[in-house]
Amino acid sequence: MGESEAGGLFGGLFGRGAVSVGDRDWLQAMLDAEAALARALELAGLAAGGAGAAVTEVAQAENFDATELGRQATLTGNPVPALVRALSGAVPAAARTAVHRGATSQDIIDTAMMLLAKRAIEVIESDLAAVAAGAAGLAGAHAETVMAGRTLLQQAVPVTFGLIAAGWLTALDVAREELGRTRSRLAIQFGGAAGTLASLGPGGSAVPGLLARELGLAEPILPWHTDRLRILQLAAALASVCAALGKIARDVTLLAQTEIGEVTEGGDDPRRGGSSAMPQKSNPVGSVVVLGSTRRAPGLLATLAAATEQELQRAAGAWHAEWEPLTDLLRLTGSAASWSVPLLTGLHVHADRMRANLEAAGGMPLAEHVAARLAPALGALAAHDLVAAAAARAASQGVSLPAALIADPAAAEALRDAGIGRADLDAAVDPAGYLGASPVFIARALEAYASRSATA
């Protein structure tokens, strides 16, 4: 958000962090595009000497009235014509021919959009690096912290919290990699009225490369006025970041439930997580606001995908439909990334509660392991059915799975035939003995993260 949008009732929630895409930022990005164009024209010999510097000096957002430009935009469908008039009137007479020469309104707005995206992505990438470091720290520190795995929201076989954090980490790394590729593809737009640069004559083809160099953006092969794949790819990369961050936040909200209590968010302010009605509440505010941001990403992505089909050389309406959704998506992704930094770096992990929740299940999460031990003697299906019946009795009688197995004559006989005694049964329901490839997977995730960090 810009300075005027950063406050207000919701600005601190959904505009947290350094991503700035408010009206002033848009205005400055358009002015930056106009100033860079003047410099490029001068370098190409299509504008008078000194024109680039003169336009650049004036092209500062504080010199223009964004509200008035917005009012005049209702006459032309976008604010660029009014901006060009105001900018032309503010520069010396000798530099006026360098203002907006060869350009059309879409060139300026699309290039400004790419500048805003570049600046926002740089901030988001910095926050994501801190989030990934937090996830890596949790993965390493809790590689052996055993807890219940949960499928369909029910306890399943055991996992470690380190494996969960490693899963967060790998998703973050994929999202960061795609975001980096997207940043490298952000390109200027400069094609004139219908993508031919005809108004600049024979020397016009040199200007796009010079403009791209001035702005630190890529030079496209040709103007992309109605080829909106860049916008869609940018939106998809941002939505991927939101998906990775939303997954973390959702896991934290579930694990922080009162009845589970396996993690809690950090925070120094005693008011954090408070409720207006219930004094005892300590809500996972960081995760909740991350989800409040990321849940909006799919809808914004869908709008931008729908706007991708644009007709002929310039679109009627679909181009206009992109501006606000992409602005919102940049802002919300930035906010989610900013909130996620303290969420991951300050997360409290309660290993004792994780162990207690597992033990309270009476060995049920290890039913698969018990069935596997019985399978050589009984066959896989018979072993599965036997253990399933014992699990049902254990649940109804409030006893452990080993106790239910031993108390049933048929099951006890099967255990004897398989050579499995009570000590073997107790070992089979020990969560630490049934973690499979978890250590290997965690090591792989940390190795991939370290490799990526070394080359970043």
The verdict on whether 119 is a catalytic residue reads no
Q: What is the pLDDT of residue 208?
A: 97
Domain ranges in the chain are 11-352, 363-428
Least confident of 10-19, 114-123, 443-452: 10-19
CA angle 4-320-32, nearest 5°? 55
Which CATH architecture does the domain made up of 11-352 adopt? Up-down Bundle (1.20)
Longest dimension (CA), the chain: 102
Q: Is 369 within 8 Å of 420 (Cβ atoms)?
A: no
Q: What is the pLDDT of residue 57?
A: 97
Own/partner contacts of 75-78, CB < 8 Å, gap of 24 or more, are 76/105, 77/320, 78/105, 78/109, 78/320
The confidence band for 4, taking pLDDT boundaries of 50, 70 and 90, is very low
Q: Over the stretch 242-273, which tens digit does the pLDDT of each residue have?
A: 999 999 999 999 999 999 999 999 866 554 55
Q: What is the pLDDT of residue 7?
A: 66
Mean pLDDT value across residues 387-415: 88
Q: Over the stretch 270-328, which tens digit does the pLDDT of each residue have?
A: 545 544 444 444 688 899 999 999 999 999 999 999 999 999 998 999 999 999 999 99
Q: Is 301 within 8 Å of 236 (Cβ atoms)?
A: yes
Quote the tokens at residue 154.
């029910």
Q: Which of 275, 416, 422, 451 is catalytic?
A: 275
pLDDT of 3 higher than 50: no
- d(Cα 53, Cα 228) in Å, to the nearest integer? 32
Q: Which of 150, 213, 250, 314 is catalytic?
A: 314
Q: What is the pLDDT of residue 422?
A: 85
The confidence band for 376, taking pLDDT boundaries of 50, 70 and 90, is confident
Query: With b meaning 16 or more CB within 10 Å and e meaning fewer, what string describes 387-423?
Result: beebbebbeeeebbbbbbbbebeebeebbeebebeee
The verdict on whether 275 is a catalytic residue reads yes
The closest alpha carbon to 334, from 244, 242, 249, 231, belongs to 242
Mean pLDDT value across residues 217-224: 97
Q: Over the stretch 330-374, which tens digit does the pLDDT of each residue have?
A: 999 999 999 999 999 999 999 999 999 998 888 888 888 989 888
Q: Over the stretch 171-186, which tens digit does the pLDDT of each residue have?
A: 999 999 999 999 999 9
